[in-house]
Amino acid sequence: MAHEADFAHTQKMKYDHIVILTGAGISAESGVATFRDADGVWAKYDYRDVATPEGFAANPDLVHSFYNQRRAGLKTATPNPAHYALAALEQRLALANGSVTLVTQNVDDLHERAGSKSLVHMHGELAKVRCGGCGAVSLCADDIGVETVCGSCGVRGQMRPHVVWFGEMPMFMDEIADAMRRADLFVSIGTSGAIYPAAGLVAEARALSIPAIELNLEKSESAALFTEGRYGKAGDVVPAWVDEVAPPR
Ligand code: OAD
């Protein structure tokens, strides 16, 4: 005989398909630097030098060293309660025949390490590298440089981080558009809303007439477009919100 608790997850949840956009703020409490805060990455580096195709062409050693440092930093960073809460949300909704599409601008791997499965990295992944010659993408936990040989085509000197630079097209835009069309809620977490097309998803949600919630340390640039905002550290605000929309057993 089924227990009462078993019915909790076969009951309809408030939302069936949630699209969640995350940014650097969700990883801040894991020790990964944000970009536009006072002590952020862009206070120390000019993005044109380290995050554009032109910067890479001008000084590949500098760009490799920038991403090698950040890749090395992943080895000591661990997911925080906000990452775990989003993985739990995905599981709880799945038990109620719902789903979550997690769209992250982050190049760290903390969402997957926390257990999220339905995840797209629209700005690429630090844990992968790509050959500029043959296009092959491979996993990489260590440093690369101008002398690195592509494991696929064997050519030296064409490897680059598998990340999206300014002036390049973000990845998985078709999948994101499909997920938005199916969504009944859009949630934005830990992002300043400064970079498009990610920052445009809230306007798309409103055009699709679905509610949009912002969870962030402070109001983002597009705060006025959201139907609701909750402000505080992701490690506090996100688990509380998840337990509200998809209560634990
Ligand atoms: P930003 O650095 O622009 O914004 C981070 C946001 O997180 C800010 O609104 C902070 O207030 C908020 N924040 C900081 N600590 C937080 C915490 N503990 N809990 C919750 N929120 C917190 O980072 P992104 O919006 O992710 O792109 O930046 C978007 C893109 O710009 C990045 O993917 C990167 C960058 O340039 C590329 O490199 C192509």
Task: Let me know how long the chain is.
Answer: 249
Task: Give the pLDDT confidence of 23-58 residue by residue, as tens digits.
Answer: 999 999 999 999 999 999 999 999 999 999 999 999
Q: What is the largest CA-CA distance in the chain?
A: 68
Residue 194 CB less than 6 A away from ligand 1: yes
- Under-50 pLDDT residues of the chain: 1-2, 4-9
Q: Does the beta carbon of 191 sit less than 6 angstroms from any atom of ligand 1?
A: yes
Give pLDDT, residue 4.
Answer: 44
226-229 long-range contacts, Cβ below 8 Å, gap at least 24?
Answer: 226/188, 226/202
DSSP H or E segment with residue 231? strand 228-231
User: How much is the pTM?
Assistant: 0.95
Instruction: Indicate the DSSP class of residue 13.
Output: P
User: Catalytic amino acids?
Assistant: 123
Counting atoms of ligand 1 from 1, which one is nearest the CA of 106? 33
What percent of the chain lies above the pLDDT cut of 70? Answer: 96
Q: What atom in ligand 1 is closest to the CA of residue 24?
A: 26
Whole-number Å distance between alpha carbons of 158 and 9: 50
Q: CA 248, CA 21: separation in Å to the nearest integer?
A: 22
